[in-house]
Chain A
Amino acid sequence: MKELTKIEEILLLAIWRLKEDAYGVKIRKYVSQIIDKDFTYGNLYSALSQLSKKKYVRKTIGETTPDRRGRRKIYYTVSPEGVKALKTAREMNEKMWEGVSDYAFD
């Protein structure tokens, strides 16, 4: 299994946290908030298509709203493989930061 890139990790986590509400607009806003920058749709969908190709996320076609002018949403959910990848990423992160005190870089 390949390691997740940072952006994939953030995205997967976002999808997992957003639960029932994980579609384009919401994911983008959530991620923008986390990274404190305006995350573009380009980066979002480029990464999402990679994730779904790796089978870390599943897609379901959802409803539409008047604002969307008839275009349906695509909802994303984290697949079991995705969850496993998230776990691995977390372990790696923890291992990486182990023993580094919170004040180390002050």
Chain B
Amino acid sequence: MGAELVDLILSPDGWRTAPVEPRLAATLMYLDRLTREPESVTEAFIDEVIAAGATPSGLESASLVCLVFSVINRLVDAFGADLSPVEAQTLGAVLDKGGSAVARLRGRPKPWVRYGGTIPAPLTTCLQEVRQGKGDAPPPIRAAIEARVARQAGTIRPEPPALPEEVTDLVDTIAADAHGVTDAHIDRLKAAGWSEPAVYEFVFVASFAAGLGRLERAIRLLAAR
């Protein structure tokens, strides 16, 4: 795939007209919805993208990509990252080289093993740690953040208890648009007495829940297909 085509796919709405194979075009349509409006990913929409050329296992695999980037995008944006064009070029070249090396080390591609409606075990473990494990932030607060953001990401959770206002302000911003996190959010949390490691955990849990909520919704809808 040429650089111009990649640029077109990554430009705002460019993917809608990019000349790519139907399976990829349908998967981009799916990822657009799952990332921006997860609650609008329904059984009917899944059927639509499959009819347009996507495959259930390809959609599951793409949903994992959505989880990974939903988390990392929020973490770096919330903590104050930027990327110059020179850095982007350097990182891109190293990652290309590294990705190829990893692929060689890990051998031949394997068929995707379907989730069957169940989230992968490592994520279940992480979810349990978030809810009940040791940490710098209190587990009930972490559990409430996870439930609040996962619900916003379109998955099923019981109504969580109310959070302190300064925490709600941070996690709702991370869930909706992590660019919107400012120094004021962090200062407010610190002024309320939260330690830096606790604030880090708030950000991680909100980011994790945004990714997990999307993946859970996708896996549930794809299970019967």
Chains A and B are bound partners: no
